[in-house]
Structure 1
Amino acid sequence: MKRVKKLLDRLLIAIIYITILLFILYPFLCVFYRALFVDGSFNISMLNNFLTNDIKLLTNSLKTAVLSTIISTATAVCVGVFYLVSGRRTRKAINLIMMLTMISPPFVTSLSYITLFGRRGFITHDILGLTVNTYGMWGIVLMQSLGFISLNCLVVTGTLSRINSKIIYSARDLGADTTSVIKDIVIPMLKSTILIIALLTFVRSLADFTTPAIIGGNFNTMATEAYMSMVAYGDITRASVINVVLFIPALLVFIIYRKNIKNTDMNESGEIEEDILSKSGILYSIMKLVSITFILLILLQYASIFLSAFTKKQMGVSYFTLQNFVDARAHISGVFVRSAVYSLISGLCGAVLGILMGYYLEIRKLRFMGLIDFVAMMPYIIPGSFFGIGYILAFRGAPFFLTGTATIVVLNMLFKQLPFSSKIGIEASNQISSETINSVKDLGGTDFDVIKDVVMPMSKNSLFVSFANGFTATMTTVGSIIFLVYPGQKVATLVMFDVIQGGKYSVGSVIAILIILMTMAVNVIFYKALIRRNVNVS
């Protein structure tokens, strides 16, 4: 029996090594090979040609990325400080709004922008009576900023929750007012966090193709050009070259990120008390104004989506109707079942794989597992389109022939979200004491017994968190699978993207609502399960 268990343990190790190298590293290398090699020889002529003739695309991408980074980072800091100073009810409201945006499809902001400020938008046309062109660079910047702020806020508030309250009380006892505390204590403590969210926002903006594709108009970026190269022109080589260019700043950002992420942890931590600072001072007032403006924009965004889903226009007058839901049936028949199945498989497999990786890295400390963990982080730093193109190049021919199948879509979703799952697994493994593991070994247990009787049972909460994240991310993903899904096998987010591009904004709003409700239902179920287990899910 021990021999069988030892064999199973080795089989699990082999599965981890093989799957990570095959489904992450191999597609990654395929993109580089396609972009930098011609007829088997190293050749950067295509890269030089792109940088020479399409420098405007690079300039446009950098412009939008820099502006989106500045706006979203500054706003996130303002909301974070407002959260710090606010009472419990306000904090709960902010958390609820942040989580709502996190479970929404990535281009909900673009849909609401069109509904509110488009040529026939509710505000620009119906209220102000204007017919203006609101598409272009600033539309992209504003919608990217609004879409990125929520995640940035969660990171900022997470850091602020670890500030030692005694520091702030000491400053107040010495006569410091709210403005001084924010300027001299809070902001300096957020220095590393601000750098991290700015870097991540910059990369996310560069990789975003859905927002420019929907509201960019004639303003093109590298990400949209890579998308068009694949979809409109079928030029996978050009798409590979563009993604290699996008990868360079992403890699630099990742290196800086890994270096600075360690600085975000604080040795002394505590729960921030309510009303720890007085709500006074010009700096607080400015941050409060920015925060309230952001919250109102988010509420307006979702109100416009619900309004668009339940109304139609006739002779310029809006009226209530359920016809949009009837019209949506033709687009979503079987789509949500397929999306849910894909997301469940991706979430479950990713959660288990992440726990196993954490065990073999932190507890068993296997040789080369550190390298495998680094490879597993690669999907986190590369654009989604890069990962999708890599799968086409890697698995379209012998011996795989996976293109056009559900398998390639699920695999792509699974390994795209693996970085988060692996980090959850590492944290779970670090919480298991060596004494517990040694007691199993002393009683004659094998390494497989440790996994079965110790690691998995003690990591149930981490499995729940990892699954919920994997399910949510898969339900709302677009970038990495848009090139992999065949017309008859589309998932909900891709159908939503198609109907919005086709000008059917009301149908797109219906699909957005259904995606949000389905994702929210699963998150609520797992949230309740975590609460019953007394887990801190903040």
Structure 2
Amino acid sequence: MQSSLGRKSPPTTLQRLLLIKWDFWTVVTLLVYVFMFAFIIYPLFSLLMNSFLSEDGQVTIQNYILFMKLKYYRSALINSFMVSSVATVFAILIGVPLAYITSRYAIKFKGLLQIMVITSLLSPPFIGAYSWILLTGNNGYITRFIHSLGINIPSIYGWHGIVIVFALQFYPHIFLYVSGALKTIDTSLEEASESLGMNSWQRLRTITLPLIFPTLSAGALMVFMASFADFGTPMLLGQGFKVLPILAYEQFISEMGGNPAMASTLSIILILCSTLILFFQRYFVSRKNFSMTGMRTPKVKELKPVLKWVFTILAFIPACISILPQITVIITSFIKTKGPVFQSGFSLGSYREVLFRVPRAIINTYSYSILSIIIMVVAGMLIAYILVRRKSKVTAFLDGIIMIPYVMPGTVLGISLIIAFNKPPIVLTGTWFILVIAYVVRKIPYTIRSSTAILHQLDHSVEEASISLGVPPMKTFFKTTGRLMAPGVLSGAILSWITTINELSSTLVLYYGATATISVTIYSEVITSNFGTGAALASILTMTTLISLIIASKLSGGKGLSL
């Protein structure tokens, strides 16, 4: 019988920590976990706990019961699903034919078309909503013109207007995803179906669409999630039509004092719905997946001159309509104004007023975004290295945490950060620092994704050779690996930059007077009918987006952004 003296007791937690090899990457992993737990897990946990509190601080499920009982709350959830679903359907109806035409046929001006499509995607939705108000609002240019012909049309306000703006704003997700899939599809399957007597429509329906379904569903998910989480467009166009992000915002920030517990409840329901949609898409794709070799990619077909022009015009119709908001705000920004009323003639008055009245908003936007992008680039590269080169259960769990911002609408993130950091020992509400944190948390997944993509393409032997020559791992990363990653990472980081300068939903919850940004100021100007200054500020964002796209294209060697 073995003596108990001969048995080894299991190591304690302290002993396990002492056995860990504490190198540079272990420290980085620990710091990343601290950041993620501090600004993602802890705020989310605080939000969840707050949703179970009554007004007098007692633990209760009354908020969830109220949500189920009151039609006011249920209707907002139904409205959110309705506009998001319908917008996704319309985005597919626009994006799939456009992708098929541009990827399979040699139409004219393809490069210009792609620039227009990407520009319309990266412009913030609330600017699109504002532009459509100028064009088709109650007193819009197009509305007045059509009324002068004796034809009455409904204005852009209401749920149908929200759907139109979402579809025109987000169909580029479908276009870009499907275009990539159609260019790599194996044509031997289509040729085999053609030899069996299938016509073009049957071949498209039974072969092509099933093959690209996983990619198409990923694009559709992006459209649905973006529509479901958007705050600015329903707020500007709804006129009483409530969706869940608006309701959460109004419950949290109310003239009557607000109801943070109910706002937390609505926020948790928003996250649950987004997560369920994400899992549903992945489950559905796993059951309907198709594979192909991709050995014979399709060739672009030449068309007869007349047919080429017909297809070109058909492709440019949705692209021109979707970029109309950007053109509208730029032109409108130069029209003379007298208060909220536009006058005949052109001037720089709106720009002068912007520079005189709200220069701080412009400075804030660029300073906060520059600081955020620096953090995102450095942290994104380090996190990507951990995920790709230091694979383990620890890093796999970290990868899961990084996915959380994908299902957190900006409004929800803002509310969770305020609930978590509005009392001692750490008070961040009312500071610029909390805005930078929100931008980093929301946008860093873009940078991490571009960093991991480029890192997968780099040969591990370069780092091994450097370390074998006695160069420490940290120095090797910053002098060798980091430099090789930089061009691809910066191209992806510009996407984070563009979405950061245009961020509205989280900023609107977190800012106070001195930390207002351009997007918040545009929103305020539109609400108060100061359309001239709103257009000038929107034009500044639009031009910044265009310049950023050009820089990204140069950095990526003309390949453009990887969205």
**TM-score of the alignment, normalized to the shorter chain, above 0.5:** yes
Equivalent position amino acid for 1:212 in 2: P
Cα distance, 1:172 vs structure 2: 6.0
1:262-314 Cα shifts (integer Å, max 9, x gaps): 86986526775332688999xx9999887444223124333322332222479
Seen in structure 2, the aligned counterparts of structure 1 residues 208 and 385 have a Cα distance that, compared at 3 Å, is same
The answer to whether structure 1 residue 191 and structure 2 residue 213 are counterparts is yes
Equivalence map 1:448-467=2 (5 Å) = 448-467=474-493
Q: Does 2:264 match 1:227?
A: no
Instruction: Name whichever of 240-249 and 77-86 sits farther off.
Output: 77-86
CA RMSD for the aligned pairs?
3.2
Deviation at 1:206, TM superposition (A): 2.0
Matched residue SS, 1:319? strand
**Retained in 1: the 8 A contact 2:488–2:556?**
no
Greater Cα shift, 365-374 or 162-171: 162-171
**Matches of residues 134-533 of structure 1 in structure 2 within 5 Å?**
134-168=156-190, 178-233=200-255, 234-258=258-282, 267-268=293-294, 273-275=299-301, 291-312=315-336, 318-531=344-557
Q: Could you say which residue in structure 1 is the equivalent of 2:99?
A: 80
Q: CA separation of 1:537/1:68 partners in 2, compared to 1, >3 Å: closer, same or farther?
A: closer
In structure 1, the partner of 2:87 is 68
Relative distance call for 1:265 and 1:29 in structure 2 (3 A) is farther
How far, CA to CA, are the matches of 1:300 and 1:472 in structure 2?
Answer: 19
What count of residue pairs does the alignment treat as equivalent?
530
1:358 and 1:426 in contact (8 A); partners too: yes
In structure 2, the residue corresponding to 1:120 is in which secondary structure?
coil
Structure 1 residues 85 and 432, CA gap change in structure 2 (3 angstroms): closer
In structure 2, the CA distance between the partners of 1:288 and 1:59, relative to structure 1 (3 Å rule), is farther
Q: Could you say if the C-alpha distance between residues 379 and 278 of structure 1 is closer, same or farther in structure 2, counting changes exceeding 3 Å?
A: farther
* C-alpha contact (below 8 Å) 1:346/1:470 kept by paired residues: no
* Partner residue of 2:121 out of 85, 94, 102: 102
Q: Which amino acid aligns with 1:512?
A: A
In the TM superposition, 1:22-101 aligns within 5 A as: 22-38=38-54, 43-53=60-70, 54=72, 55-87=74-106, 89-101=108-120
Question: Residue 396 of structure 1: CA displacement?
Answer: 1.7
TM-aligned CA distance change 1:344 to 1:61, over 3 Å: same
Offset, 1:181:
4.1
Partners of 1:266 and 1:496 lie apart in 2 by 48
Provide, for residues 173-195 of structure 1, a one-character-per-residue CA deviation record: whole Å limited to 9, x for no partner. Answer: 77765444433433222212232
1:73-93 residue CA offsets vs partner (Å, 9 max, x unmatched): 222112111222332643212
Q: Tell me the CA shift for residue 211 of structure 1.
A: 0.9
How big is each residue's C-alpha offset from its partner over 1:399-423, in whole Å with a ceiling of 9 and x where there is no partner?
2211111111111101111222222
Q: How far apart are residue 215 of structure 1 and its match? A: 0.8
* Secondary structure in 2 matching 1:483: helix
Letter in 2 for 1:46: N
Q: Secondary structure at the match of 1:69?
A: helix
Gaps of 5+ in 2: 1-20
CA distance in 1, matches of 2:505, 2:299: 40
Give the direction of change, closer, same or farther, for the CA distance of 1:86–1:347 in structure 2 (3 Å limit): farther
Distance in 2 between residues matched to 1:250 and 1:74, nearest whole Å: 23
Range moving further from structure 2, 324-333 or 338-347: 324-333
Structure ranking higher on relative contact order (CA contacts 8 Å, 6+ apart): 1
CA 1:535–1:205: 2 relative to 1, 3 Å: closer
**Alpha-carbon contact 2:87-2:163 (below 8 Å) kept:** yes
1:36 alignment partner, SS class = coil
Q: Which has the greater radius of gyration?
A: 2
Letter in 2 for 1:19: F
3-state SS, counterpart of residue 318 of structure 2 = helix
| Separation (CA, whole Å) in 2 of partners of 1:408 and 1:265 | 45
Structure 1 contact 79–288 (Cα < 8 Å) conserved: no
Q: Which runs of 5+ in 1 are unaligned?
A: none
Residues 288 and 221 (structure 1 numbering): CA distance in 2 closer, same or farther, change over 3 Å?
farther
2:345 aligned counterpart, secondary structure:
strand
Query: In 1, distance between residues paired with 2:147 and 2:342?
Result: 14
Aligned-residue offset at 1:364 = 1.7
Identify which range, 383-392 or 188-197, moves more after superposition: 188-197
